[in-house]
Structure 1
Amino acid sequence: MPDALETIDVLPQHRFDEAQLAAYLARELPMFGTFEVRQFQGGQSNPTFLLIGNDEELVLRKKPPGQLLRGAHQVEREFQVMSALGPTGVPVPHMHLLCEDEDIIGTAFFIMSCAPGRVSPEPHMPDLAMTSRRPVWLAMAKVLARLHEVDWRKAGLEGFGKPDAYAARQLKTWTRQYEMSKTGEMPAMDKLIARLERTLPDDGPATIVHGDFRPGNMIIALDADEIDAVLDWELSTIGHPLADLGYLCMPYHVPAEVPGIKGLQGLDFKKQGMPDKDEIVIAYAAARGIDPPDNFDYFTAFALFRLAAILQGVYARALQGNASHADARNVGKRAGFLADCGWAIASTL
């Protein structure tokens, strides 16, 4: 049975004034008391820490140090969307507070409850029992459907994102992010961007989009094959729901045998206790009461492009010495391979 995400000593580049934080929390959350700080070893973006108190554990998530790309690492938006989703039935941790005063620990941060449960970050879920893998994947599809059925205006998220021209704006944003963090030439990325620009899909009804909906961002219940919490809402916005579905299905287009890349392509799903892509799509559609969509290849290609751009940013931050993950240099170098996978889909559009 997998445990919660591993914690480590706080990385040197992410240390902050713990005494200053303790004084702040003594004022804002006086019942929490004294605590120990550990850092979660996982994720490549916003550093995340476990605060271990005498009777309770909380999670602190903050912006990374150093010079940041414009529009990136918006922990304020994560706090806003999870706060709004709390009453909707979408499983998210309880939000305690947002602090935008950079004098406390150097950057903006928020505090949330620590959701107990299991974590299985690999898409083939090797650390789950074989009988649990298919139910957990289908549970993810149903939670995604529940998210996309939330009335974002009634939830207080008017203005959280622009519902029109989502694909075009996302492509522009991530192309800019990629260009700003580029450290060398990547021909497949250039071809992928050009094809995505030429084949932009029409807008559909806008929903809340998580932006990084994958197994590694799920907390699985301890006693059931259900999702207890969805984490990491940094990329969330208002947009096209098929962007999330295409992203969730992305591993089915990435070879499983490539080291360091979390793919499913080439596996025997029946032997692994895994659903195939069609089962995921059918479960999602049934939970929403819609016909299974058959036009989301664009968004899977886009998901691979965006992930390649993100990993390029990870690599660029690693060269600057302020990445969130100890293995950031190696992770970032995989951007070119993902661009190749994206081009394999986009070339057929």
Structure 2
Amino acid sequence: MQEIVGIDPVAVTRWVDDLGIEFTGPLSFDRIGLGQSNLTFLVRDTEGRRWVLRRPPLGHLLASAHDVVREARIMSALADTDVPAPRIFGVAQDPAISDVPLVLMEFIDGQVVDTMEIARSLTPQRRREIAMSLPRTLAKIHAVNLDEVGLSDLASHKPYAARQLKRWAGQWEQSKTRELPALDDLTRRLVAAMPEQRELSLVHGDFHLRNVIVSRDNGEVIGALDWELSTLGDPLADMGSMLAYWPEPGEDTGGDFPASTLEGFPNRAEVAQIYLDETGRDPQALKFWHTLGLWKVSIIAEGVMRRARDNPANKAAAGTPTVERIDALVHKAREIADAAGI
């Protein structure tokens, strides 16, 4: 049996058998996905059946980081809701199977638009169909009844904006490579403009085009992936974050993946309106969360750039953010804030 870095194929095969899953061996395991965090494997048997296996990254981990067991709990809780999430078949926390937890889940056969090559291969009509489905999928996530699915104890119920601002402002202080008065000014403005939190919902935490599987037939989202950053908070945070990853033609904030600038993808206002029409939520508060989303993306990008500078081995295959792109993100955030009176 093949040797795979990060898992023991013999032990995993035994575990899959113990779960009562029907397969014809031997199983094969192949790394998939662009993710820099949890490792994801496509598992196949000799008759073409497929599953997905997840484990934390290799190396030393912070206690709460890359918690695949927590992620599996969230996805399991969504099994009987309208949210399109992969079904969980099993969670292994046995040293005889693996020295780190493993999660086996459903393989959803669709398309992941995670490279510009794939995005360009789509027709403008298909791009539009995918874009329309994204905010509707977020609305389904935010409609989940936390008590009914058993997720009301997932995270703090304290106001989410304050939690986010404290966390990411601290992150900026730790990871910045230079002084950036424009970002510091934006931080002050966001703190002063925090909207009152009127509701608490499940927040995906990392919802964007690259983290969903769409139908090859009609562009509908059939699988929402990567729930490791999920928490409880203000639902508009997810929509604001999605808008932050949605550059329009002529903008230079998209980094290596400016897919939404291609013909067929609607502009941010239209995408936002679909969500607001679906949910009846506050458009003014969404402007705050859009600004915060861009602010947060710029801080994350600075951290990635810092790690790549400190150790060239940390450079991601997709490319490292540049000072120019980070400055463009901050500039765009300030533009949105100015227009919103933040």
User: Structure 1 length normalisation: TM-score?
Assistant: 0.81
Q: Quote the Cα distance in structure 2 between the aligned partners of 1:279 and 1:120.
A: 20
Q: Given the superposition, is the C-alpha separation of residues 264 and 321 from structure 1 closer, same or farther in structure 2, using an over 3 Å criterion?
A: closer
Q: Given the superposition, is the C-alpha separation of residues 198 and 86 from structure 1 closer, same or farther in structure 2, using an over 3 Å criterion?
A: same
Q: Which position in structure 2 is the counterpart of 1:167?
A: 161
* TM-fit CA distance, 1:312: 4.5
* TM-fit CA distance, 1:221: 0.9
- Structure 1 SS opposite 2:284: coil
> Quick one: which of 30, 48, 53 aligns to 2:45?
53
Q: Given the superposition, is the C-alpha separation of residues 248 and 212 from structure 1 closer, same or farther in structure 2, using an over 3 Å criterion?
A: same
Amino acid at match of 1:133: R
- Structure 1 SS opposite 2:137: helix
Q: Given the superposition, is the C-alpha separation of residues 285 and 259 from structure 1 closer, same or farther in structure 2, using an over 3 Å criterion?
A: closer
Output one character per residue of 1:146-186: Cα deviation in whole Å (capped at 9) or x when no partner. Answer: 22112111111120122331111122233344445x26235
1:18 to 2:5 alignment: no
Larger RCO, structure (CA 8 Å, separation 6 or more) = 1
1:305 to 2:299 alignment: no
Runs of 4+ in structure 1 over 6 Å off: none
1:237-252 mapped onto 2 (5 Å cutoff): 237-252=231-246
1:262 to 2:257 alignment: yes
Q: Given the superposition, is the C-alpha separation of residues 171 and 132 from structure 1 closer, same or farther in structure 2, using an over 3 Å criterion?
A: same
Q: Given the superposition, is the C-alpha separation of residues 31 and 176 from structure 1 closer, same or farther in structure 2, using an over 3 Å criterion?
A: farther
Q: Which position in structure 1 is the counterpart of 2:68?
A: 75
Please say which of residues 194-203 and 109-118 is displaced more in the overlay.
Answer: 194-203
1:319-330 mapped onto 2 (5 Å cutoff): 326-327=316-317, 330=320
* TM-fit CA distance, 1:102: 5.6
Please say which of residues 327-336 and 93-102 is displaced more in the overlay.
Answer: 327-336
Please say which of residues 226-235 and 339-348 is displaced more in the overlay.
Answer: 339-348
> Quick one: which of 209, 212, 215 aligns to 1:215?
209
* TM-fit CA distance, 1:232: 0.8
Q: Given the superposition, is the C-alpha separation of residues 243 and 72 from structure 1 closer, same or farther in structure 2, using an over 3 Å criterion?
A: same
Q: Given the superposition, is the C-alpha separation of residues 316 and 337 from structure 1 closer, same or farther in structure 2, using an over 3 Å criterion?
A: same
Q: Quote the Cα distance in structure 1 between the aligned partners of 2:17 and 2:186.
A: 51
Q: Quote the Cα distance in structure 2 between the aligned partners of 1:256 and 1:121.
A: 19
* TM-fit CA distance, 1:339: 4.2
1:152 to 2:142 alignment: no
Q: Given the superposition, is the C-alpha separation of residues 64 and 183 from structure 1 closer, same or farther in structure 2, using an over 3 Å criterion?
A: farther
Amino acid at match of 2:151: L
Q: Given the superposition, is the C-alpha separation of residues 43 and 278 from structure 1 closer, same or farther in structure 2, using an over 3 Å criterion?
A: same
* Unpaired stretches in structure 1, ≥5 consecutive residues: 1-8
Amino acid at match of 1:227: V
Output one character per residue of 1:73-115: Cα deviation in whole Å (capped at 9) or x when no partner. Answer: 2222211111111111111111111223466433223111110
Q: Given the superposition, is the C-alpha separation of residues 313 and 58 from structure 1 closer, same or farther in structure 2, using an over 3 Å criterion?
A: farther
* TM-fit CA distance, 1:263: 3.9
Conserved in 1, the CA contact under 8 Å of 2:129 and 2:218? no
- Structure 2 SS opposite 1:136: helix
Amino acid at match of 1:185: R
Conserved in 1, the CA contact under 8 Å of 2:90 and 2:105? yes
Q: Given the superposition, is the C-alpha separation of residues 41 and 142 from structure 1 closer, same or farther in structure 2, using an over 3 Å criterion?
A: closer
Output one character per residue of 1:34-63: Cα deviation in whole Å (capped at 9) or x when no partner. Answer: 311111141232221111222321111221
Q: Which position in structure 1 is the counterpart of 2:265?
A: 274
Conserved in 2, the CA contact under 8 Å of 1:256 and 1:262? no
Q: Which position in structure 1 is the counterpart of 2:31?
A: 39
What is the number of residues matched between the two proteins? 332
Q: Quote the Cα distance in structure 1 between the aligned partners of 2:171 and 2:92.
A: 26
Q: Structure 1 vs Structure 2: percent identity of aligned residues?
A: 30
- Structure 2 SS opposite 1:86: coil
Output one character per residue of 1:243-264: Cα deviation in whole Å (capped at 9) or x when no partner. Answer: 0111121234575456734347
Conserved in 2, the CA contact under 8 Å of 1:133 and 1:274? yes
Conserved in 2, the CA contact under 8 Å of 1:69 and 1:177? no
Conserved in 1, the CA contact under 8 Å of 2:256 and 2:319? no
Conserved in 1, the CA contact under 8 Å of 2:132 and 2:271? yes
Q: Which position in structure 1 is the counterpart of 2:333?
A: 342
* TM-fit CA distance, 1:336: 5.6
> Quick one: which of 100, 111, 116 aligns to 1:107?
100
Output one character per residue of 1:321-345: Cα deviation in whole Å (capped at 9) or x when no partner. Answer: 886x852662587656544543444
* TM-fit CA distance, 1:65: 2.1
Q: Quote the Cα distance in structure 2 between the aligned partners of 1:61 and 1:311.
A: 25
Conserved in 2, the CA contact under 8 Å of 1:66 and 1:322? no
Conserved in 1, the CA contact under 8 Å of 2:208 and 2:245? no
